[in-house]
C-alpha cells in the first residue's frame, strides 16, 4: 500500500492509502492534457482497501463492455468489408467506427491495479475470511 499524502482512490475520490493502479495510455493522455492546461496534480491513483470489492465489480463490467464492443466492431467490420464495393472506404469507415466504440467505452473505464498490488489485495481479502 502506498502512502495517502498524495494518493487518491479512483473509486471514492478520497485521499487514502491503497493499491496503486497502472499508468496506462489513457491515464498518461489525461495527465498530458492536464499538464498542458497547468492543472496537473501528480497524484498517485490507488484503490483503497474499502473500495476494492466495488473496484472488482466495476473492472469486470468494463472488461465485459470491452469484449462486447470488440465483437460488435468485428461483426460490423466484416459486414462492411464484404458488402462494400470500395474496400478502402470500408476500412476507413471501420476505423471511424472503432474510434466511436472506444469513445463509448470511456464512461466504463477502470484501470488495472499493478500486478504486485493485486496480489497484496487478494492476500488481504483472503486473510479477512
Q: Mind listing the pLDDT tens digit for each residue in 46-82?
A: 999 999 999 999 999 999 999 999 999 999 999 998 9
Task: Answer yes or no: is 1 within a domain.
Answer: no
Task: Answer yes or no: is 117 within a domain.
Answer: yes
pLDDT band at 2 (very low <50, low <70, confident <90, very high): very low
Task: Answer yes or no: is 72 within a domain.
Answer: yes
Task: Answer yes or no: is 41 within a domain.
Answer: yes
Task: Answer yes or no: is 37 within a domain.
Answer: yes
pTM of the prediction? 0.80
Q: Which three cell numbers stand for residue 128?
A: 479477512
Full domain range(s) for residue 82? 7-128
Task: Answer yes or no: is 43 within a domain.
Answer: yes
Could you read off the pLDDT of 15-48 as tens digits, one per residue? 999 999 999 999 999 999 999 998 888 889 999 9
Q: What does the pLDDT read at residue 129?
A: 59
Q: Which three cell numbers stand for residue 110?
A: 477502470
Count of domains in the chain? 1
Q: What does the pLDDT read at residue 3?
A: 47
DSSP string, 3-45: -STTEEETTT-SB--BEEBP--HHHHHHHHHHHHTT----PEE
Task: Answer yes or no: is 58 within a domain.
Answer: yes
Contact predicate 85/56, CB 8 Å: no
If 0-12 CB within 10 Å is exposed, 13-18 middle and 19+ buried, where does residue 16 land? buried
Could you read off the pLDDT of 80-119 as tens digits, one per residue? 989 989 989 989 999 999 999 999 999 999 999 988 777 7
Task: Answer yes or no: is 26 within a domain.
Answer: yes
Contact predicate 52/125, CB 8 Å: yes
Amino acid at each position: 500500500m502506498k502512502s495517502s499524502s498524495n494518493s487518491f482512490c479512483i473509486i471514492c475520490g478520497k485521499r487514502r492509502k491503497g493499491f496503486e493502479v497502472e499508468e496506462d495510455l489513457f491515464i498518461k493522455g489525461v495527465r498530458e492534457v492536464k499538464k498542458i492546461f497547468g492543472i496537473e496534480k501528480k497524484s498517485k491513483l490507488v484503490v483503497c482497501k474499502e473500495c476494492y470489492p466495488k473496484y472488482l465489480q466495476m473492472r469486470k463490467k468494463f472488461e465485459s463492455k470491452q469484449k462486447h464492443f470488440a465483437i460488435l466492431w468485428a461483426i460490423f467490420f466484416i459486414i462492411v468489408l464484404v458488402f462494400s464495393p470500395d474496400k478502402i472506404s470500408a476500412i476507413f469507415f471501420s476505423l471511424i467506427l472503432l474510434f466511436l466504440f472506444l469513445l463509448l467505452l470511456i464512461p466504463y473505464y477502470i484501470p488495472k491495479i499493478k500486478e504486485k498490488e493485486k496480489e497484496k489485495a487478494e492476500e488481504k481479502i483472503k486473510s479477512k475470511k
